[in-house]
Amino acid sequence: MTHVDSDALVLRHVRQGDTSRVVTLLVRDGGKIAVLAKGSRRPGSRFGAGLDLFCLTRVRYRVRPNRDLLFLDDCELKRNFDDLSRDVMGYAAAGTCAELVDRSVPAGAASAEIFDLLLETFTVLAETAPLPEGEGPRAAALSVVFQLRLMDVLGIAPELTGCVSCGAADLAGSCSLSPRRGGLLCRRCRASEGGRRIDPATVELLRAGLFGEISGVMTAPRPPTRAAILESRGALDALLEYHHHGRPSGFRSRHFLDDLWKQRS
Ligand SMILES: [Zn+2]
């Protein structure tokens, strides 16, 4: 039996009996796992606040071969991201990022890069909360940037620098994104290959998200437009689905984020 002692982010809770929880964790040096935290819902539990949703926690557990469920021995809160609760859009965006990791990252995938990416995204969201009036779309845009960067780590980010079919660098403001070809197509290749047409503003948002700082959408002079955010997300969703990494448009956290966004616009 091997002990793991590593930083982790809390992705999801499910109640187990009257006093316990099964907690899904992204462990930096241990992958995405489910642990049984016995007695964690009892007042004064030894796990304390170290299993709160989205928190950064130090966990210790034993790895048992051929067992899906592991037992959590101990945990220690390192950072709670309480600031997220000051901005409901930011909180909802954090939820969509956590659910993407929970449902789109294959079990057994290497986790250190994904962990660092998710931690940075939670940090940016917490540090910019609360967003000023009308700036909520920035949080939604950051969750799209996270999705793109996650897909990059998984090796399925779209080709965005030129036409994926003929290599043309000048897309002349008229291009499409083909999930099958895995990237942008110029106007001429689109005629023969198909793919969903996308706006130049969407291409710009995707390129900035893939090649720039993660915090770029929070600091740019203006937030991206709703149309560019939704079109980017739709294109990335199609690519994730094509590669069998789930169907993010059906995720519960997405519906929560979109309902909030509608109420505020
Ligand atoms: Zn082409």
SS3 (DSSP) at 212: coil
The reported pLDDT for the residue numbered 162 is 92
Per-residue pLDDT tens digits for 77-102: 999 998 998 899 999 999 999 999 99
Length of the chain as a residue count: 265
Per-residue pLDDT tens digits for 216-251: 999 999 999 999 999 999 999 999 999 999 999 999
Measure 187 CA to ligand 1 centroid, in angstroms.
Answer: 7
Measure 163 CA to ligand 1 centroid, in angstroms.
Answer: 5
Residue 174 has pLDDT above 80, yes or no: no
Domains and CATH numbers, the chain: 2-79 (2.40.50.140), 82-264 (1.20.1440.120)
The reported pLDDT for the residue numbered 67 is 72
Alpha-carbon gap, residue 41 to 1, rounded angstroms:
27
Residue 150 has pLDDT above 90, yes or no: yes
Give percent above pLDDT 70 in the chain: 100
Alpha-carbon gap, residue 3 to 69, rounded angstroms:
14
Q: How confident is the model at residue 172 (pLDDT cuts 50, 70, 90)?
A: confident
Measure 203 CA to ligand 1 centroid, in angstroms.
Answer: 15
Helix or strand run (H / E) with residue 71: strand 69-79
Residues 214 and 124: beta-carbon distance below 8 Å: yes
Residue 194 has pLDDT above 90, yes or no: no
Helix or strand run (H / E) with residue 118: helix 112-127
Measure 188 CA to ligand 1 centroid, in angstroms.
Answer: 6
The reported pLDDT for the residue numbered 3 is 87
Alpha-carbon gap, residue 136 to 7, rounded angstroms:
30
As a whole number, the mean pLDDT across the chain is 93
The reported pLDDT for the residue numbered 62 is 87
Measure 170 CA to ligand 1 centroid, in angstroms.
Answer: 9
Residue 183 has pLDDT above 90, yes or no: yes
Measure 11 CA to ligand 1 centroid, in angstroms.
Answer: 40
Paired sense of beta strands 183-185 and 20-27, if any: unpaired
Measure 123 CA to ligand 1 centroid, in angstroms.
Answer: 39
Measure 210 CA to ligand 1 centroid, in angstroms.
Answer: 21
Measure 5 CA to ligand 1 centroid, in angstroms.
Answer: 49
Q: What is the mean pLDDT of residues 189-195?
A: 87
Measure 182 CA to ligand 1 centroid, in angstroms.
Answer: 13
Read off the tokens for 134: 């009308």
Residue 66 has pLDDT above 80, yes or no: no
